[in-house]
Amino acid sequence: MTPSHSATGSGLVDAIRNRLKIAAHSPPMTGGNMKRAGAVLVLLGLFAINGSVSAKEPQKEAAGAAAVVRCGNPVGLWRNQMGSEMRITSFNPSTGAIQGQYRTNGGAPGFYPLIGWVNSAPPAPGANNAVTIAFSVRWGQIGSITAWTGTCSDTSAGAGLRTLWHLSRPNSQFDWDHILAGADTFTSM
């Protein structure tokens, strides 16, 4: 597997310009080749107008446009103590559903789909109150699934997630070795 890349509209515009430069110095096209080249340029132009070509890797948010990542609105970038990256791209406050992408710093290249839930209750007086969260990642062709569950707390420095995880894997040397467990601490970026 190789990591995928996203292309922004400006990158596509540059690609179109380069293609037109090459075409200007190439022998004239005829028949079907001209129709195919025209169709490709039209499609590239439509993607450039649309703003981006969607790919597995999430697009970076515009500087200054992103809201502060908080437990009550977890959309944004999070990193754990190992350098793995979680990007929550959507949050439905009515249902608590979250979606996003996860990239591990531990061996599996690229981004993988992430789904989960955020939940909370009214704060209890005199208690340590936190937002609860659970999410999972399906590791594609690798065949494993990891599920995290934990709590989120807001501080003046940002939001923090303390989680426990279980990774189940399809292939192992022993019957008892298919499930691994650990802990991660994520910090909002």
User: Cβ–Cβ contacts within 10 Å for residue 57, how many?
Assistant: 15
d(CA 94, CA 27): 59
Residue 148 labelled as part of a binding site:
yes
Q: How many residues does the chain have?
A: 189
Residue 78 labelled as part of a binding site:
no
d(CA 79, CA 104): 10
Residue 139 labelled as part of a binding site:
no
Residue 108 is predicted with a pLDDT of 85
Question: What are the two backbone dihedrals, phi and then psi, of residue 100, each rounded to the nearest 5 degrees?
Answer: 175, -155
Residue 102 labelled as part of a binding site:
yes
Residue 106 is predicted with a pLDDT of 85
Q: 97, 117 in Cβ contact below 8 A?
A: yes
**Pick from 78, 189, 94, 178: nearest CA to 135:** 78
**How many CA atoms does the CB half-sphere of 134 hold within 13 Å?**
6
pLDDT digits (tens, 9 = 90+) for 13-60: 344 344 434 444 444 445 554 444 444 333 334 333 333 333 344 444
Average pLDDT taken over every residue of the chain? 76
Residue 112 labelled as part of a binding site:
yes
pLDDT digits (tens, 9 = 90+) for 118-151: 999 999 999 999 999 999 999 999 999 999 999 9
Question: What are the two backbone dihedrals, phi and then psi, of residue 75, each rounded to the nearest 5 degrees?
Answer: -65, 125
DSSP letter string, 35-85: HHHHHHHHHHHHHHHHSEE--SSPPPPPTTTSPPPBTTB--EEEEETT--E
Residue 31 is predicted with a pLDDT of 53
Could you tell me the pTM of the whole model? 0.65
Q: 71, 152 in Cβ contact below 8 A?
A: yes
d(CA 60, CA 120): 29
**Pick from 120, 122, 124: nearest CA to 159:** 120
Q: Residue 53's Cα: distance from chain center in Å?
A: 15
Q: What is the largest CA-CA distance in the chain?
A: 79
**Looking at per-residue confidence, does 41 or 104 come out higher?**
104
User: Cβ–Cβ contacts within 10 Å for residue 97, how many?
Assistant: 13
